[in-house]
Structure 1
Amino acid sequence: MAKPVLMPQVGQDLTEGLLVEWYVKVGDPVKKGDIVALVESEKASFEVEAFDEGTVLELLYDTGEMATVLEPLLMLGSEGETVTKPAAAEPKSETTAQATAAPVPSAGDAAGAAPSGRASSPLARRLAQQGGLDIGQIKGTGPKGAVIKRDVEAAAASAAGRGDTTAPAAPAPTASAAASPVIAAPAQLPPRSMEDREEPFNRMRQVIADRLLLSKQTIPHFYLRAEIDVTDLLIRRQAHIDQGGQKVSVNDVIVHSVALTLLEYPRLNAHVAADRVVLKGQVNVGVAVSVENGLMVPVIENTPFKSVVEISDAVRNHAAAARRGLTKSTTAGTFSISNLGMYGVEVLPIINPPEAGILGVGPIVKSVREHRGGIQIHDIMSVALSADHRAVDGAYGAQFLRSLSETVSTYNMFSDQASVAAE
């Protein structure tokens, strides 16, 4: 039976995107995880992944057309199979067709046109406006000559190399003015309205609002901060990479270390109800991922018993899927991690109900520390635990952070820490 590959919803306010390129054609075999198309929306350029396998039976859009989210882009099935048109592809009813006398837009019109009449993607137009570029003067390399993201980026790089701007040339100075110092004109900011603008919550934003409001209104949060010395960890990590090991991030180590530590502190690996605490038998760590206009928390199942390399692969795969508006995890989380250290800020995160705790990870900074009667510069990472006081008390949370600090500081990527957890 034929199966569709849908246009993903990357961000809850996305309704359509320009189909820039097909990576497959009718008759090609497709496996799960294969990239089949490149799409540009107003805010991003992203690839479309197949979550089924089969032979390409039909491409439902031409390059240069605007594809609607959550509707089929192409059909997969057995070789030689006949495609039954999905409902979304059927022609509109006669009543609907007669309801408007406006002409049906062409593919180039649907994609949006530059002042020169050349089609352009929404993302290209936004980038051109931000960069002060005249999109009508940019040569398009997209479908049917459409201007797409790479064209605007190339034009911006070329203009920067020449020192070009879109502002009109100033008149040539007179002889007397030539001796005067030249004062550069202030940069022209794009016009903006001074009126207030109301933005109703989209679906994802509403879910986030409801859950976190519930968390702050019903969960008695308490917060504990700690600093973890990661000097030796960074040295061991670099040695691991230099010897041909897979490049794993400090965040991957934190995820694994938290999971290992939770085995010793089951009251933080728990779900909390009104009159009970459910200590979860499996440790499933969720990692907060920022997506367009929202937040998702994909979960790594049975986290302590994976190697740091497996965790690194899982985090990347889950994060990539989340940013495409998809999720690869169906397991309920038992504890979460929110890492904003890459922005140079510390965080006191809000607990994700019904979990009993969440760890906020801050930046790594150079700090002076006493060492054997002298002073040294160490790499120090800040962390903060938000915990549900119904499930745990301050001393229990403090002990968890102390154990976590020891686990991270002594973490050895050359050993199989997952096997240690299994013992």
Structure 2
Amino acid sequence: MAKLLRMPELAANAVEAVLQGWPLPEGAAYAKGDVIATVETEKAVADVEADADGVILKTLVPEGAGVEVGAPIAVIGGPGEMAPDIDALLAELGVASPAANDPAPAPSSPAGAVPTQPPSSFGAIPAQAPAAGPTGTGTTRRIFSSPLARRMAKEAGLRYEQITGTGPNGRIIRRDVEAAIASRDRAGSVLVAPAERAAAASAAPVAPAAAVSAAVPATGTAAFTEIPHSRIRRAVASRLTESKQTTPHFYVRGTARVDRLLRLREELNDGAPVRVSVNDLVIKAVAGAHLLVPAMNVVWAPDAVRSFSSVDVSVAIATERGLVTPVLRSVERMTVTSVASAVKDFAERARAGRLRQDELEGGAISVTNLGMYGTEDFAAIINPPQAAILAVGAARQEPVVRDGGLEVGTVMRVTLSVDHRPVDGVVAAEWMRAFLTLVENPVRILA
């Protein structure tokens, strides 16, 4: 029996997601567990799997469209089911036919006239100048695009006429706009004054490589270029603003001598197929400290403090689209090399935008490391609903005192940001002491 496939809530409290792609065409049969839709959330790409055998009778939204959670995206039926009258079926299910929203063919108009027609709900956008038809008369050329692509193009200052659509029937979708933005960025942006931009908008279309989103707002004010927010950057901004406003942060700082840690890393990497980083060892030390001080392995919930039996650690990974924090599960049971392999896999898939939503949820603590950039010391904002985040600085040689004498040693500074609601100051101090002890005695990390 035919039924509606609705946009799932893949992320907690999500109100919208992007229908990234349809792996199967209309009329295709599928088996239980097959991927029948690919959906993009703010930070991840998720596959929607079939819960039973069936067939895709009709897709209701185009690729690249933003869809509210719970809204219908397709009509699916049982194995071998057919729908000879899809409009009647849609009416029976209480859904308007997408064809009813498609625009009628553009009428011809006298030469030089530019007819105005409203865009359809599926993103039909009238061209801003008539295109010559086969007979030489002016005919308005319609350009179709998804709502997401329209918004991205507008924010990036791109003209639709200069973007090649690769979606169904030439529809412009998200990846087309991203490709146009990348092409423009490679060619370099051009700063123009507002008056020049207004003149350019009424003139002939500008090539994507020269299209800009920039302005000189007033005399004496520096020129600027606007870079549209990515979905990830919007999500990070919202979550971290909420965290800083609602989570009472306090900070515990420590300094560890890491000469022995660096020697251990060299030994682990000597001829090994998997390279271990300092950050991988730090992640293992974090998990060890959580085992020694279980009162840190918690998060604040509305009605209780939630304490975990295993140690899940988020790893901050920077991508071109923004920051993501995938979660390593049960780090206390992982070897250092397995941590290194998992982090490398996360980094590769994060930069390709292929992390799953479930990989971004959970954990009680995050690790963020700017040491590779030479940053000595910094404090990070807690990633809610976690209870802490450890900011790791660079390992640097400095004068150190040992047994009353002065010598050169390699030290690393760390800052632990803590949510004061589930964790008291003395607990964070005990955790920092346990962590520093593990780092300075790294063989214990491997135990």
Q: Which residue pairs with 2:38 in the alignment?
A: 37
Q: Are 1:262 and 2:262 counterparts?
A: no
Matches within 5 A, 1:77-96: 79-80=79-80, 91=91
Amino acid at match of 1:24: L
Q: Equivalents in 2 of 1:7, 1:270: separation in Å?
A: 29
Q: Which amino acid aligns with 1:139?
A: T
Q: Check if 1:68 corresponds to 2:67.
A: yes
* Code of the aligned partner of 1:339: T
1:346 maps onto 2:378 in alignment: yes
1:242-257 matches, within 5 Å, as 243=271, 245-246=273-274, 251-257=279-285
Task: Give the direction of change, closer, same or farther, for the CA distance of 1:314–1:55 in structure 2 (3 Å limit).
Answer: farther
* Alignment TM-score, normalising by the size of structure 1: 0.58
Following superposition, the deviation at residue 36 of structure 1 comes to 3.8
Contact 1:228-1:409 at 8 Å conserved across structures? yes
Cα 1:336–1:147 shift into 2, 3 Å: same
In the TM superposition, residue 145 of structure 1 has moved relative to its aligned partner by 1.0
Q: 1:269-284, aligned counterparts within 5 Å?
A: 269=297, 282-284=309-311
Q: Which moved more, 1:257-266 or 1:205-214?
A: 205-214
* Corresponding position of 1:404: 435
In structure 1, the partner of 2:332 is: 304
1:39-76 residue CA offsets vs partner (Å, 9 max, x unmatched): 6x8x88x6431355554521533645846333454578
- Distance of aligned partners of 1:7 and 1:209 in 2 relative to their CA distance in 1, 3 Å threshold: same
Q: Which residue does the alignment assign to 1:178?
A: none
Q: 1:164 to 1:326 in 2, by over 3 A?
A: closer
Aligned residue in 2 for 1:380: 412
Corresponding position of 1:361: 391
Asked whether the 8 Å contact 2:59–2:74 carries over to 1, the reply is yes
- 1:285 matched residue in structure 2: 312
Aligned equivalents of 1:307 and 1:301: distance in 2? 12
Q: Deviations over 1:62-93 (max 9, x none)?
A: 6458463334545789754799xxxxx95389
Q: How many residue pairs align between the two structures?
A: 359
Q: Given the alignment, which residue of 366, 369, 376 partners 1:337?
A: 366
In 2, Cα distance between equivalents of 1:54 and 1:286: 34
Offset at residue 113 of structure 1 (A): 3.9
**Residue in 1 aligned with 2:146?**
121
Q: Which has the higher contact order (CA 8 A, sep 6+)?
A: 1
Which amino acid in structure 1 is aligned with residue 311 of structure 2? N
Q: CA deviation at 1:311?
A: 5.2
Cα distance change, pair 6–404 in 1 and its aligned pair in 2 (3 A): same
The answer to whether the Cα contact below 8 Å between 1:303 and 1:311 also exists between their aligned partners in 2 is yes
Partner of 1:199: none
How far apart are 1:404 and its partner, in Å? Answer: 1.0
Whether the 8 Å contact between 1:115 and 1:135 is mirrored in structure 2 is no
- In 2, the alpha carbon distance for the partners of 1:141 and 1:272 equals 46
Compared with structure 1, are the counterparts of its residues 5 and 133 closer, same or farther at alpha carbon in structure 2 (3 Å cutoff)? closer
SS in 1 for 2:379: coil
Distance 2:272 2:258 in 1: 21
1:409 is displaced (CA, Å) by: 4.9
What is the distance in 2 between the residues matched to 1:153 and 1:382?
Answer: 37
Q: Say if 2:122 and 2:146, in contact at 8 Å, map to a contact too.
A: yes
CA distance in 2: counterparts of 1:281 and 1:16, whole angstroms: 30
| 190 and 56 in structure 1: CA distance in 2 versus 1, 3 angstrom threshold | farther
Report what 2:121 is aligned to: 110
Report deviation, 1:225: 0.5
Aligned residue identity for 2:60: Y
Please report the TM-score for the alignment, with normalisation by the length of structure 2.
Answer: 0.55
> Identity across aligned pairs (percent)?
22
Note if contact 1:228-1:383 (Cα within 8 Å) is conserved in structure 2. Answer: no
Alignment RMSD: 5.8
Q: Secondary structure at the match of 1:258?
A: helix
Specify every segment of 5 or more residues in structure 2 that has no aligned partner in the other structure, as ranges. Answer: 84-88, 105-118, 128-141, 198-211, 218-233
* 8 Å Cα contact 2:166-2:176 kept in structure 1: yes
CA distance in 2, matches of 1:152, 1:91: 34
Shift in Å, 1:362: 3.8
| Structure 1 gap segments, 5+ residues each | 84-88, 98-102, 170-186, 193-201
Quick one: which of 160, 166, 170 aligns to 1:135? 160
